[in-house]
Structure 1
Amino acid sequence: KDTSTQIDGFEKASKLNWEFSKTYPWKVTNDVSYEGKSSLMSGLPPSSANVVVGKSLYSNMTLSLDNQDLIQAANKNGAVLSFQVKATEALSWPISAFMVTLNDKIVLSPSDVESSASIMWEENEWAEFSVVIDAVDSSSANYDIKFIHVANPLGLDKLPNVPAALELYMDDVRLAPFTRKSDSLDMTTGGSSNGAKWKELSGVFVASSESVNQQNGHADLTSVVYSKLGGRLKYELKTSTQGPFDDLAILFNGKLQDAQFGQSANFEFVQMEIPRGKVVITFRHRKNPGQLSAGTLDKLGTTKTDGTNRVKNIACWLDR
């Protein structure tokens, strides 16, 4: 279950304390949106051809929150701020960059952005980012979150001659309380394809390749964790799968962390590190994850496994 609260979707005049740079300010647009009809668009020129060499161009905006804002949307201990970002092309250093600071400290670096979102932006998808706001024990504390979109960040006299559009959009800004230290995770089924699905039987989640009505498909079991310092994902797995026919993949925020297959006699305990911030945890039962042809699969022969994954006691233990 996602415990976040949307604090701005840019559909109407915002009640939040936003401050925009006087030059190249961000502005509301109806051209692109993650949800609803509107989003914010960076004010930088849309093409790298407009960048003045030897000079950096900035389009900045700052969201100022106080402890009361955190308490209303999350809790007094702090929160995780998440937001969706989309670029018309992958940002390309040193032509352009996007970063976020919290009280003048970088909490989302350009390299973090590039490594997390480049592929998604090349596929014309939105990418979600999150930053941790650690509450200060003071009723007058302020948290200035600055979103920085910069062209030619190094102020170079000559830039690489590669395509690098500077159109950047942001939408769906949310706050969420930290997940409690040791929660049994509330899992949600969905994100399936070709008939695949998870079923819960007496506290055990079960997925089978037999339910897939095509040559390949998958079934997702998901949960969302918000943490200040990260922690550990713990679960018990009993699998009867054989790669490359089927397996169990673990994804964090859509990125593959591990893939497991084999023949388990009993449930086996598994533990994985969880990074800080917002993490969407996905248990994905996959049939033919490599999408091999029928001919190739036939040449590999048959398996002695039944193509089933069983998972139980899914929990997270988070560091303070």
Structure 2
Amino acid sequence: MINKLVEMAENLSKERKKDPELSARMDIAAQGQAPRFLMISPIRRSSQDLQLFKMKMGDVFHGTRVSNEPLLSPTQSPVLFAGPASYNREFPEKRGVILTFDQDEPEEIIKKSLENISLHPDLGGLPIIVFRVDYEQGRVRIVAHGKGRNYEAENWLLSRVIRPDPLDSNTLVLICSDSRVHPPVTPQGLPMAIQTLGGYIPKYTGSDDETLQLNTFFEKWLSRDRSTQNILVVAHGNFEGEGPSCVAGEASLKPDNISNKILHSVITELENAAKPFESIPANTAEDRVKSLSFAIRNNLFTYPAVIAIADSKSPDFVKILLMDTVSNVLKPTDD
């Protein structure tokens, strides 16, 4: 599977370079990022949401909500939600926060998610754009609410809606929130994805927090046919020459330079998680995201639902890949 993913990513990169608009976006991506939206997607639909709204490289910074669960408060969800939302604060041309829900998710999940998103101190004043989505038909419906809306942005997004490619529910990608990197397409379709700063997920705590929700997700997902399921940890950076590094990886080299309290806490956690996997201290963001990817894989195996099936899985059930920030070309690690 890995060789096929690498081949597909290479071919997609070549196609993007032939497209004038996408090639121009790659040139811009090499200089930095300025996404207009923060998009918080359910794990199952993260990749499909990008295609649903025809979002291209640089358009959206991503956070994550556990499917069929409400978005938790910033204190309960520092990694999936609070960290990406705080990083999004720095972008100059923000138009709003996009929240998506499957068409059959209960109204209470939407209501609770809206309440919790309004608690984030770095999202004050940003419009919240909420959609119920029928992904199979490519249809969306605006959810009216009183938390602040942007009708122009809502209509613009509605005008872009297309039916996304099929979901590959056997593949889960852990990848950075960075607007320049997208979860890699698989031979079966668009994978599920957890998008956080550095693609990081924390160790299971057993507390009433985001890790409890994640374990519930793993439990439901891994209860299915285990022989075809894969988790891909994708670390991104300058892996093809001269290009941008992972901003979270770079920040984790000197977390004390970060003044934002929420962001400082998350980036410090990334640093502390990565260090045990470094024989010598990381000097570059690329070195850091490589060691962080091993920490992420290690953290996955602290979740009871993952531990329960570990013996029945192949050794490469969790695989680490490196992605170039600009080209999105993949290559395997030597682990």
Q: Which has the higher helix share?
A: 2
TM-score between the two structures when normalised by the length of structure 2: 0.23
Larger Rg: 1
Higher strand share: 1
TM-score for both structures, normalised by structure 1 = 0.23
